Chains A and B, each alone.
Chain A
Amino acid sequence: MHQAFDRRAATPGADQNKLELALLARIAARDAQAMHELYHLYHRRLGRFLMRLTSRYDLAEEVINDTFWVIWQHAADFRGASQLSTWIFGIAYRRALKTLKRVRPEQLAEDAEGLEQVEEPWQQAELREWLGAALGKLPHEQRMVLELAYHLGHSCEEISVIMQCPVNTVKTRMFHARRKLKGLLTVLAGAL
């Protein structure tokens, strides 16, 4: 009955990576149309990822554009050590952390504090709302590991590159995220 998810259906394959690398090469040569195409390819995925991290549309938009600003300036520096998507999400993650430190230093500090149980009114909400509320209670490092693994389909090694931390740290964050989510989602856990 148990079956691993077919990653090929959800994440960019070799052909897609090749296409994106061709766009990046054109961007390195200052081709605005290639920039337009790559921007649209990533905008939704980055937007969703950054909304999870910042919870604000204006900050998410700012970070997406900061990310592509870096891509425009450093496209020629990409050496292909990872998938292009891993490189781009890594830039976005680091830019988002810098932005959050600037505008909401307290949030990053609060993330390290203890978790609260989701309050009673949420118990009538739908699964998606439950999940959003519960994810919002996790420290951002754990939330991002879940988002990168379960929504964007990145491997443990890719996440370690994106978040610039050892593979074992990714595994530890995933472990704690799962444990805390189980505690938070009491109703959801029952459904599971």
Chain B
Amino acid sequence: MYPEDFEVDAHEQAMGLIPWYVNGTLAANDAATLSAHLDGCARCRGDYQSQLRLFEAMQADTTLVFAAEPSFKKLMARIGAHEDAGGLAAAGAAAVAPTVSTPLVRRRYAGVARWLTAAVVIEGLGLGFGAWAWHSHNAPPASSYVTLTAPEPSYRDSPRIRVVFRSGLSVGGLGAILHEAGAHIIDGPTDANVYTLGFSAAAVTPGVVDRRVAALRASADVLFAEPLGTGSTDDDSR
């Protein structure tokens, strides 16, 4: 083997190790070997710096993620329904089935049921109060008819909310949510099913928007709700 072959091997080996060196998971002995190589190799050092920047860019990437609590409630409702229906018992030889029969676990199941019941009651009370508060303080003017010749409402200076609705939501359900929030769809859906909601009343205060966002997040039909600033900033979720 020629000396150049050793060189090529060293570079290839370094290239394979750099990602794991960059993310800090490389074994100590390999890290020491690579570090020594990087000290004397400008080419591999360039590759290392390139990967470090990519790593930092991916670390900084804060892709929007939806609210956890409504999803969790749906999960526990699914678990509760399954267990109420005797799904685990029907699973026969499934690993979890034997544990269900113990008194301790039965008490735990009762705990789940109570937990879910309490969550639903609290959520219901919260939504009920929220709906009452909205209607009390933010009721839209009655008889706001819209005709084909009426001017388009302007959303230019309106607060906006970015929303993802539950898959399979009916048109009626969507309409009810929009009516409740006093909002209109002004953009979307994007490829990620994100809608942008706006308010025709430019005088809506930030406090009202926050309450509406909170109520949207509490809805099981809304997976994600996040306020955006006003003005003409384009949706960057596309």
Shortest Cβ-Cβ A-B pairs, 8 listed? A7-B24, A155-B25, A30-B108, A47-B65, A58-B167, A43-B68, A5-B24, A150-B58
B-contacting 9-mer, from A15-23, A69-77, A87-95, A105-113: A69-77
Would you call B66 and A31 a contact (CB within 8 A)? no
Q: Mark A46-69, 1 if CB is under 8 A from B, else 0.
A: 011001100111101110110011
Quick check: is A40 within 8 A (CB to CB) of the other chain?
yes
Instruction: Contacts A57-B194, A76-B96, A189-B50 known; list 7 others, CB within 8 Å.
Output: A4-B31, A150-B23, A150-B58, A150-B59, A156-B25, A171-B16, A178-B51
A-contacting 9-mer, from B109-117, B133-141, B150-158, B201-209: B109-117
In the complex, A154 Cα to B167 Cα: how many Å? 32
Closest A residue to B112 by beta carbon equals A32
Total A-B pairs in contact (CB under 8 Å)?
158
| Set of chain A residues within 8 Å of B167, measured between Cβ atoms | 58, 62
In the complex, A31 Cα to B112 Cα: how many Å? 7
Quick check: is A6 within 8 A (CB to CB) of the other chain?
yes
Would you call A154 and B25 a contact (CB within 8 A)? yes
Would you call B20 and A149 a contact (CB within 8 A)? yes
Partner of B95, one of A40, A77, A155: A77
Closest B residue to A136 by beta carbon equals B191
Would you call A58 and B59 a contact (CB within 8 A)? no
Partner of A44, one of B52, B54, B65, B112: B65
Would you call A155 and B111 a contact (CB within 8 A)? no
| Set of chain B residues within 8 Å of A81, measured between Cβ atoms | none
Would you call A29 and B54 a contact (CB within 8 A)? no
Would you call B72 and A36 a contact (CB within 8 A)? yes
Closest B residue to A147 by beta carbon equals B58
Smallest distance from the beta carbon of A138 to chain B beta carbons, Å? 12
Would you call A69 and B192 a contact (CB within 8 A)? no
In the complex, A127 Cα to B66 Cα: how many Å? 23
Would you call B166 and A58 a contact (CB within 8 A)? yes
Would you call A128 and B23 a contact (CB within 8 A)? no
| Set of chain B residues within 8 Å of A65, measured between Cβ atoms | 71, 74-75, 78
Quick check: is A164 within 8 A (CB to CB) of the other chain?
no
